[in-house]
Amino acid sequence: MNDSRRLRNTNFKIGKAYYTTDQHHQVFTLVDSDYGGGTDYLPLLESLSFPVLMKFIIRPVPEKVSSSTLGKYIADRKSEIRYSRTMGDSEREKLNRQIYDLENMSSRIGARRSLLVNLFASFRVSSEHPVKLRESAATFSSVMKLMGLIVRPVEYISTNRLKEMSSPKDNVGKPYLMDTHSASSIFPLSFTPVPKAGGVALGVDDITEKPVFLDIFNKNSHNVLIFGETGSGKSFFAKILLMRFATTRSVDSIAILDPLDEYACSMFPGSCKVVALNADSGIPHLDRESEHEENGSGNVDVEIYKISNLLDDDSSRKMIALLGRIYNAMAENPNRRKMILIDEAHLVLANKNSLEMLSRMIRHSRHYRASVICVTQNPDDLSRNHLSNVIAENSSSVFIFRSRGMGRAELNRFGLQAFGDLDAEDLSGGRNSPYSECLFVENGRLKKTRILGSKLESDIIDAGE
């Protein structure tokens, strides 16, 4: 039943920023965009645990005023840059980028390759409880921002506004000026079936061009293995993975063992703290998860442990103590979804005692609803002894980035004997590539996958490194 009929048949209440029928709803409108990812934002919305209803209306701008309208927009932004005395570098860069986009738009329209339109885009987030609606609305806004689409909640909902939102013809919010070339790139149309959403969208299937989802907590094993040579894109992917799980609130807590100082709290929404450890420091009690349960904030708790000073043999006892504390915290909260990322895991695997504790965590992770994510450079790191083999044997999701020397032994270890001599040497990736390629192995199936981060995701990662 559509909303216009529901309003006639069901009692409803109007609040300042949301309205209620049989559920509670909040409406957002598109107000700004720094976006070049096509419809990549749609799979990430599919990753959310709540419904989002989208409404797009395109109204053409009269052709005779298209050029003058764009000229006014360009002149206003140039004037703002020229005469502002307090503008920061980021705001100036944003305006220059808008001028560049508007001039390109003007060129396309002048060459009659496109038409100028006003796009009215609105999004309705729904939930069964107003408190849950507030959390869902914040998550939705964060996800859209991460993908470069800026939305703003409708601040006040009147009866007339409610009727506008229920009508398929009426505009909601202010128009967003675009040309048909730009509008078509984000318009949510698909003429072929999209894979059923499950987990979080991380990339695109290289053959089908459909989104690839990672559903960590609904597998026989929750663990993930990521490996590839230096500069292959594996570290960027690991950060994208954590950021998207945190932003979509598909995980409740994250612990990161960071030996090379590559992670920062600026990468994550919610609560985060950095703990720098050395041979003389104590290991903190990991009790924030129980506090989170009490305050009911719904935020993702992130702990980043700087462990560069714990990798030598003299500090191995401190590393074992840290892994033991993480394991105990993992076991104390079996109902919460947890991610433990071990970056440059080959450095931890080099110590037998640390490896033994890590193997224990990996074997028992599913029982405690935890995912241990190991990031390492070479598949040979996993064949040193029977304990390191535990990582490969107990990881249901494997991401292979550019790697040399993928021999028969490695194929057998990941159950890929049927793929013959698999070649991972020519996969794209690294800072000079617009995307990274990997081989995603899951349940004996292999997908060549492209990893595409949004501009904001790349900027956040670069700023945190």
- Provide the pLDDT for residue 83: 82
The rounded distance, in Å, linking the Cα atoms of 423 and 354 is: 32
The rounded distance, in Å, linking the Cα atoms of 426 and 444 is: 22
- Provide the pLDDT for residue 302: 94
Residue 9 burial (C-beta neighbours within 10 Å; 0-12, 13-18, 19+):
exposed
Residues 426 and 225: beta-carbon distance below 8 Å: no
Residues contacting residue 77 through CB under 8 Å, at least 6 positions apart: 95, 98, 99, 102
Fold for the domain defined by 200-464: Rossmann fold (3.40.50)
Q: Which positions of the chain have pLDDT values less than 50?
A: 1-12, 14, 35, 287-297
Among the residues of 248-305, which ranges form H helices?
Answer: 288-295
Residues 345 and 224: beta-carbon distance below 8 Å: no
Strands 223-227, 370-376: pairing is: parallel
- The predicted model scores a pTM of 0.80
Residues 234 and 260: beta-carbon distance below 8 Å: no
Give the CA distances from residue 440 to residues 98, 383, 387, 414, 415, in Å, rounded to whole numbers and listed in that order: 37, 20, 24, 11, 12
Residue-wise pLDDT tens digits, 38-95: 566 888 888 888 889 888 888 899 988 888 989 998 999 899 888 877 888 878 887 8
Work out the number of other CB atoms within 10 angstroms of the CB of residue 415: 16
- Provide the pLDDT for residue 373: 95
Q: To 5 degrees, how large is the angle CA 197–CA 178–CA 173? A: 75
For 220, phi then psi, to 5°, come to: -65, -35
Residues contacting residue 54 through CB under 8 Å, at least 6 positions apart: 121, 122, 123, 124, 188
The rounded distance, in Å, linking the Cα atoms of 154 and 165 is: 11
The rounded distance, in Å, linking the Cα atoms of 209 and 167 is: 33
Rg (CA), the chain: 25
Report CA 176 to chain centroid distance, whole Å.
25
- Provide the pLDDT for residue 33: 77
Residue 198 token pair: 């499950």
The rounded distance, in Å, linking the Cα atoms of 147 and 128 is: 26
Question: Domain-by-domain residue ranges, the chain?
Answer: 3-61+115-186, 200-464
